[in-house]
Homo-oligomer: A and B are copies of this chain.
Amino acid sequence: MEKAADLRVIRTKKLIDEAFLSLVDEKGLEGVNVRSLTSKAGINRGTFYLHYQDIYDLMEKMEDQIIEEMNALPAQSIPEQLLGSGSTEEPFPSIVEFIRFMNARHRFFAVFFAQEGTSFGKRLRTLIHSRMYEKLPRQAMNPDALAVPDDYIVAYFSSAHFGVIRHWFESGRTLPPEQVALILTRLVRDGPLLTALNRRPE
């Protein structure tokens, strides 16, 4: 972004980053303010304002850097391409790289995911699942070392539907409720790939 030549600047920013992450670990996002942050970092409160507008500005810049790094990840392979080739139990390489990166940066992402899911969001996803998919065929029927754990299936379904509903809201609720319901129904019945191709199952 900018010139960070001076060792003092580099040191200060590192102190701020570290203080931010550990402060969120301790007290959550609400417990973070400029006063406590600079206190934990061991720097003067005024110094923070030499580098960032406010806490929000700090987080934004941390996000910018992560996004930049993710965009720079090498493997850009396309599932479509890999769909035809690999039929083994090997995961797609691009996805592996992706997950590995998040694992390496887990301190940042832990903060992000903690703030991302509001408590109500979680309750709503749970509700979606319990009301609609509670009686899905469960893994207990066929225990298998290679099987995908139930909780991941649940996460997949509830987040997918949550996302469709959110998109409906974010696009201004232009579609009537019945059509949104139909979209969800088709995604459930036919699966996303078939739905995207607009074909009937079987």
Contacts and interface: CB of A to CB of B under 8 A. Distances in A.
A101 to B, nearest CB: 9
A67 B155 contact: no
Contacts of A96: 177-178, 181
A95 B98 CA distance: 33
Interface string A100-135: 101100100110110111111101110110011111
Nearest to A163: B159
A9 interface: no
Contact of A197 (B109, B137, B168, B186): B137
A80 B155 CA distance: 18
B118 A152 contact: no
A56 to B, nearest CB: 8
Q: How many copies does the complex hold?
A: 2
B127 A91 contact: no
A79 B156 contact: no
A158 B160 CA distance: 8
B95 A181 contact: yes
Interface of A: 60, 63, 67, 70-71, 73, 76, 78-81, 83, 89-92, 94-96, 98-100, 102-103, 106, 109-110, 112-113, 115-121, 123-125, 127-128, 131-139, 142, 144, 146-149, 151-153, 155-171, 173, 177-178, 180-189, 191-198
**Which 3 residue pairs across A and B have the least CB separation, nearest first?**
A159-B163, A155-B167, A160-B160
